[in-house]
Amino acid sequence: MRAIPLAVTALAAALLLTACDSGGGDDTGSTSGKAGGACGIGQLGVEVGPANAAPTAGDTGNIPVSLTNQSAPCALDGSPGIALKAGDTVATVPAATGAKPEKLTLAKGESATFTLTYVRGGATGAKSLAAKNLEVSLPGDADTTKSFRWSYGVVALKGDGGAPDASVGPFTRAGD
């Protein structure tokens, strides 16, 4: 009589384990089902500053940007996208030299940060960008941005009106 309940329990356990199999046959340890995919800028609260603004031309300023997940778990895998806008001019800020982005998975309520570093430019001229807006995008969702008013002064340009003399650091978990 005891053999039947044990056999039924074993069969039920086997069926449950089979039902949990994704069927993909890929045993890479991926957590994409748990992470919910790439974070979208719309599911994160974004706060810019408070900044250590560059006071005069040639000085360096640092602007922290904080991201807080307000939705399902998601991942930040790559570098933040930053653009400075001055009217019709859009200048893309490159990743910091030597920056090594690491994948961060954020549960609801968890935060990550990154820092934008820039050199303040002169008042006007071909070697400065009078930025009015800072646009932030995320890896995996580069076409969607959040725009913020730029109030940190003119940004120096490298060379003769080229790229901004600025860089963006990798994502780090807030509190690390």
- Domain segments of the chain as ranges: 35-173
Weakest mean pLDDT among 25-39, 49-63, 108-122 = 25-39
> CATH assignment of 35-173?
2.60.40
The proportion of the chain whose per-residue pLDDT surpasses 70, expressed as a percent, equals 76
* Amino acid present at 48: V
Residue 162, exposed/middle/buried by CB under 10 A (0-12, 13-18, 19+)? exposed
CB atoms within 10 A of CB 157: 20
In whole angstroms, give the CA distance from residue 91 to residue 127: 13
Which tokens sit at 124?
Answer: 């006007």
In whole angstroms, give the CA distance from residue 93 to residue 7: 64
- Coil, strand, or helix at residue 14? helix
pLDDT band for 24, please (50, 70, 90 cuts): very low
Predicted confidence (pLDDT) at residue 97 exceeds the cutoff of 60? yes
| pLDDT, tens digit (0-9, with 9 covering 90-100), for 123-160 | 766 688 899 999 999 998 888 999 999 999 999 998 76
